[in-house]
Amino acid sequence: MHSTIVAKELNVLNRYCKQLNILEDYLHQYQNETFSPRILMSGNIRNEKIDQIGLTLGIDVKAHIRELFAAEWKKEYGSNKDLYNKTPDVLKIKGDISELLEMIRKKKKVYYSWKEKVLYIAAKKGNLKAIPMHPPAHKIHGVWMECVIYGNRRFHIFLTPEKVTEYDQKYPHVSDFGSNSYLNYQIYTKEEIEHAETVILDFLDKSKKYLKNYVSVERESPWKSTTERAKTDH
């Protein structure tokens, strides 16, 4: 399978993971009572995109939260009367969305694992190129990551602990590339994600021999939720 085809579909999953990060962040805000589900259910473009990301996962996020919220509201006030017209600006009662969050985390973990393996194989085949730049890596949400080219697509990969220490010492004031701009990209359909999954799994299956000495360097994702970033900043 040609590297440009694999890279194209890997890029789809990589961008989708970043969009899932944003969905997870919204749900964290809901869980921590920093916004009302009424906001998520409003009709602006950003929230519609959030909803589309959920539908790609096979989840109607609005319906899920609405169902939880309705149940909690009824427990608190005895009925569903004025459920949406008089929703408080900041939610003080909430349903359990831990299963939904866990599903998102597991999905991301699988995709990031595939990405790591595909790029490892690409390096073994000599198809991975580092992008010459200064500093020689990007800092994304506080984590150093090398920027590489595979199949005419750019990807970020984790650095070794030794390199991290070296770059921290050499470039203490480097700009951070952390961003939530991925909602500006195309929101993928369920069929597009399933196609990307098929291509990547097929590639990994046919490239097993390159993974004989593979050892995962999986680390915690550099992305942090709004709540986690706030804790770090104070």
pLDDT tens string 31-77: 776 655 555 555 566 667 777 887 888 777 767 766 766 666 666 66
pLDDT at 230 over 50: no
Domain of 199, in residue numbers: 3-217+224-233
Whether the model clears a pTM of 0.85, i.e. scores above it, the answer is no
| Cα 227 from Cα 177, distance rounded (Å) | 18
* Cβ–Cβ < 8 Å for 168, 145: no
What pLDDT, on a 0 to 100 scale, did the predictor assign at position 233?
A: 44
Counting the structural domains of the chain, the total is 1
Backbone angles phi, psi at 88, to 5 degrees: -65, 150
**Residue 208, pLDDT above cutoff 90:** yes
Q: Where are the alpha helices (DSSP H) in the chain?
A: 3-31, 37-40, 45-56, 61-77, 98-124, 161-170, 190-206, 226-233
Q: Which of 17, 222, 183 has its CA nearest to residue 108?
A: 17
What the block records as the tokens of 39 is 């906001």
How many residues are recorded in the chain? 234
Give residue 229's pLDDT.
Answer: 47
Facing residues of 130 across strands? 148
